[in-house]
């Protein structure tokens, strides 16, 4: 059985480890409770740029040396930015733990943000923004988010804007790092064959004096809803239809996950079977239930032809309505089995385990046992899923986005009428 331990340093940095002696690899990372929703509008995109610059050189190592030191021992490294978190992580053999810790601490505390590297990385991100805009089934989610939460940090793109990226300087990064990367928002997480006390000793020697900042920029989410439409010369119409969901801590959270699994989570789901298999209205259709610390979104994505979109949207709404009254016990059992299996399967990967315990610490303030999560999933019954379906349909204005040859997409008022029916 794995052993999970948490230690908090005097400055608030938390260290969590999940020890499994039979693993030969270790996943280690730094999770920072800061993401794009911590940005002021003029700083939108800075969290992502900062993450990109993490492995671009420190006062001790060049970017090439960082890569070589990790890859010379067969390890790999990566990073990501979400709306609520930023993560930097390494996977290595267990004998190379100290090297991985030292490199992560080095990039966190000694990055130099050299001007030439910064300008190159700004160009890379501009290319990333352009690629996203050229990928309709990607950018539509940004438009969806911006309509759900207009004029708010949580509604803005993680990548930022070209104008913002152009204006960012080395001082922008340093000031943001100093104001948002506070010790009490930093978590070191590790999974594998680890001695927790040894890990704490290594980190505490270098990080105990890391500073605590004032309260950062965090704006509570305010769901609004509405629509976004864009005419493009594409083969398909891409559509996203959704409603306000629930936060990670909401009592409805696990009901939302079961709901989404039944509605559009896999080839046996309602949407796949009815919309694709029975009616042949699209190739790709699925649902999602995404959560944040204080809100969430539930939605359905589909891509279809210009002529079939007029039938697709009413059919999707019909399937959502069926979720309020025609869910079987078999549906519930299958969806819960899928969720529980995904949790158990993730336990076979140190990277997944490392991320899971870090996120649990951020969201809940403590590690959450898998047995506890499975009990919560098991507690979801047919009635709670039916009630969740009614809850989201009655709660607020829907959010809708469409990109492509959208001439035959019905107007938003008609969509609202169908949902309210």
| Helix boundaries (H) for 43-161 | 46-52, 63-71, 97-110, 115-133, 136-148
Q: Kind and range of the H or E element at 12?
A: none
To 10 degrees, what angle do helices 136-148 and 115-133 make?
A: 90
* Three-point CA angle 32, 37, 40, nearest 5°: 110
Residues marked active site are found at: 51
Query: What burial class does residue 41 get, using C-beta atoms within 10 Å of its C-beta: 0-12 exposed, 13-18 middle, 19+ buried?
Result: exposed
CA nearest neighbour of 308 among 282, 270, 284, 274: 282
Say whether 363 sits in a helix, a strand or coil: helix
To 10 degrees, what angle do helices 253-264 and 370-379 make?
A: 70
Kindly report the backbone phi and psi dihedral angles of residue 349, in degrees, each rounded to the nearest multiple of 5, phi listed first: -130, 120
Report the alpha-carbon distance of residue 349 to residue 241 in Å, rounded: 33
DSSP category for residue 45: T
Report the alpha-carbon distance of residue 83 to residue 330 in Å, rounded: 35
Chain position carrying tokens 């359905």: 300
């Amino acid at each position: 059985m794995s052993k999970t331990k948490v230690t908090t340093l005097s400055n608030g940095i938390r260290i969590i480890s999940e020890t499994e002696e039979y693993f030969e690899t270790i996943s280690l990372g730094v999770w920072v409770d800061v993401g794009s929703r911590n940005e002021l509008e003029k700083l939108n995109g800075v969290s992502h740029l900062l993450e990109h610059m993490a492995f671009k050189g420190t006062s001790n190592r060049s970017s090439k040396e960082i890569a070589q030191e990790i890859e010379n021992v067969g390890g790999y490294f990566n990073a990501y930015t979400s709306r609520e978190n930023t993560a930097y992580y390494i996977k290595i053999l267990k004998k190379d733990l100290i090297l991985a810790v030292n490199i992560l601490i080095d990039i966190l505390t000694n990055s130099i943000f050299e001007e030439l590297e910064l300008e190159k990385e700004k160009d890379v991100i501009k290319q990333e923004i352009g690629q996203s805009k050229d990928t309709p089934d990607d950018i539509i989610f940004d438009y969806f988010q911006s309509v759900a939460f207009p004029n708010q940090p949580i509604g803005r793109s993680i990548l930022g804007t070209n104008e913002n990226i152009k204006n960012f300087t080395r001082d922008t990064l340093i000031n943001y790092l100093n104001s948002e990367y506070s010790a009490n928002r930093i978590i070191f997480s590790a999974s594998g064959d680890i001695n927790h006390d040894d890990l704490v000793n290594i980190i505490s020697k270098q990080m105990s004096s890391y500073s605590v900042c004032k309260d950062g920029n965090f704006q509570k989410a305010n769901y609004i809803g509405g629509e976004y439409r864009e005419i493009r010369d594409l083969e398909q119409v891409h559509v996203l239809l959704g409603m306000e969901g629930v936060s990670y801590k909401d009592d409805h959270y696990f009901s939302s996950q079961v709901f989404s699994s039944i509605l559009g989570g896999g080839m046996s789901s309602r949407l796949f079977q009815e919309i694709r298999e029975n009616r042949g209205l699209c190739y790709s259709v699925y649902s999602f239930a995404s959560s944040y610390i204080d809100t969430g979104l539930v939605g359905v994505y589909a891509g279809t032809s210009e002529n079939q979109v007029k039938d697709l949207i009413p059919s999707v709404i019909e399937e959502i309505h069926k979720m309020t009254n025609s869910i079987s016990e078999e549906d519930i059992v299958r969806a819960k089995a899928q969720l529980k299996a995904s949790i158990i399967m993730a336990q076979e990967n140190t990277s997944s385990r490392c991320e899971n315990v870090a996120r649990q610490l951020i969201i809940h303030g403590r590690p959450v046992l898998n047995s506890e999560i499975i009990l919560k999933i098991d507690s979801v019954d047919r009635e709670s899923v039916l009630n969740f379906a009614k809850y989201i349909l009655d709660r607020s204005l829907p959010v809708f986005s469409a990109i492509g040859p959208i001439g035959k997409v019905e107007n938003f008022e008609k969509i609202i009428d169908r949902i309210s029916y």
